[in-house]
Amino acid sequence: MTRSWRWFTAAGVTVLAFATPSVVCGLWVLPSVIQDPGTRWAVASALGAAVAALAVLWGQSFAASPTTTAAPPPPATVIASGNRAVAVEGDMEGNITTGNRGGPAMPPTGGQPPAAPGSPEPVPPGSVVGSGDRAAALRGKIKGDVTTGDQPGGPTP
């Protein structure tokens, strides 16, 4: 609900909070107690004004409050923290290979260092995380192959 609709709702509640007790008291409750119509409607209007004052206090806090009560979630991230890990956000066209192709094992190069064991960092919901050795994490579609093992004699899925 937008802020303008909140103010509109608060104004409507205030009008109803004044009109309802005024009319009920002026037409049905007070005629048996107060005979003079001028005095009866003055008392009914005063009761309506008292209830409307409470509605105004509520309406101001309702209309001025933020439209969302919870803090927005942290943005999703893409993290590749393992040795030769790959994390991709979005669609991918091509192959992902995290292992060797017939040669000796290569030391990890660049990228983010692996997380220290026993102290995992909190990851925001919706994140793409490749945290293990040669891990491949993808959020999206892929046109191609994903290979995570060494390939000394051929592809290993």
Structure confidence by residue, pLDDT tens digits, 98-122: 776 655 555 554 444 544 455 566 7
Q: What is the CA radius of gyration of the chain?
A: 34
Does this model's pTM top 0.85? My answer is: no
Distance CA 35, CA 45 (A): 16
Residue type, 109: T
145 band by pLDDT with thresholds 50, 70 and 90: confident
- Tokens 């005629």 label which residue? 31
37-46, 84-93, 95-104, 132-141, range with the lowest pLDDT: 95-104
What's the confidence (pLDDT) of residue 141? 83
DSSP secondary structure of 31-53: TTT---HHHHHHHHHHHHHHHHH
